[in-house]
Amino acid sequence: MRFVFLGPPGVGKGTQAERFSAAHNIPHIATGDLLRSAIADARPVGLKAKSYIEAGRLVPDQVIIELMNDRIQAPDAKSGYVLDGFPRTIAQGKALCALLEKNQLTLDRVLYFSLDDDTLMERIVGRRSCPVCHAIYHMRYRSPEQDGICDECGAALVQRKDDVPETVAERLSVYKTETAPLIAYYEKKSILTEIKADQPPEIVAEKIEQAIH
Ligand code: ADP
Ligand code: AMP
């Protein structure tokens, strides 16, 4: 099972991919989480990515493609995965396609999550993230049991540096110019399904299950 969760920042890809991964027993591979871990561990790929992430820009394709080539071919990804935040440019989409073809594999489906900009902004600015296990919370819509503490691992939750309104505006603009063209790219391949994400997580999760069956 190989799926791509595509859509603007804050639409709920990570939240849904986390649930989907547990329900279908496949790894949730999120480029943003991989990059943030690399920054925290001061690995070379993290050092290359840091300034782009903080500015709300995309990390160069070459860096991401190299990172994902390795991750997608790791042993735990043999039976499939859900990709969250990759591909994010046409070049990345083509690189993924080439890698799959080389291994005689295909994507099962690309789910495109859509939502209006005001709601995206509200979701992102209220997001709180666990820097250790990557669990996702929201001040209003998904608050942890104990204020500021991750339910899953007990770490202190943080607001990501790039989740402040000025950087979010840049990220939404970058999404429209660089990532949104992937919608037409996958539509042409007849593997895209749009999921309207303006409902509670449980309802969005039901729509995902309907879309893949
Ligand atoms: P993405 O991975 O697309 O950037 P996230 O999954 O991190 O998005 O979700 C962004 C924020 O919105 C998080 O704070 C999350 O808790 C919240 N959220 C996710 N899905 C929903 C939903 N269906 N309704 C309300 N809030 C949501
Ligand atoms: P995310 O966690 O998906 O919101 O990603 C956070 C940031 O990481 C983005 O704003 C980019 O700077 C960077 N990033 C994540 N995935 C990619 C990607 N596929 N291509 C380029 N940059 C990425």
- The candidate with the shortest Cα–Cα distance to 121, out of 173, 49, 181, is 173
**Apex CA 148: angle with CA 142 and CA 149, to 5°?**
90
Q: What is the pLDDT of residues 157-207, one digit of tens each?
A: 999 999 999 999 999 999 999 999 999 999 999 999 999 999 999 999 999
The answer to whether residue 19 is catalytic is no
Which pLDDT value is given to residue 86? 98
Ligand 2, atom nearest to 60 Cα: 21
CA-proximal residue: ligand 2, atom 6 (nearest)? 32
Which of 2, 36, 127, 207 is flagged as catalytic?
A: 127
- Could you tell me the pTM of the whole model? 0.97
HSE (CB half, 13 Å, CA atoms) of 153? 11
The answer to whether residue 160 is catalytic is yes
The answer to whether residue 140 is catalytic is no
Q: What is the pLDDT of residues 82-123, one digit of tens each?
A: 999 999 999 999 999 999 999 999 999 999 999 999 999 999
Distance CA 121, CA 49 (A): 23
pLDDT of 50 over the 90 cut: yes
**Which long-range CB contacts under 8 A does 151-156 form with residues at least 24 apart?**
155/130, 155/131
Which of 19, 48, 109, 160 is flagged as catalytic?
A: 160
The answer to whether residue 207 is catalytic is no
Distance CA 10, CA 29 (A): 17
Q: Percent of the chain, pLDDT > 90?
A: 99
What ligand has the least distance to the C-alpha of 136?
1
Residue ranges and CATH numbers for the domains of the chain are: 2-115+165-212 (3.40.50.300)
Distance CA 4, CA 129 (A): 22
Which pLDDT value is given to residue 14? 98
CB 84 within 8 A of CB 3: no
Which pLDDT value is given to residue 213? 87
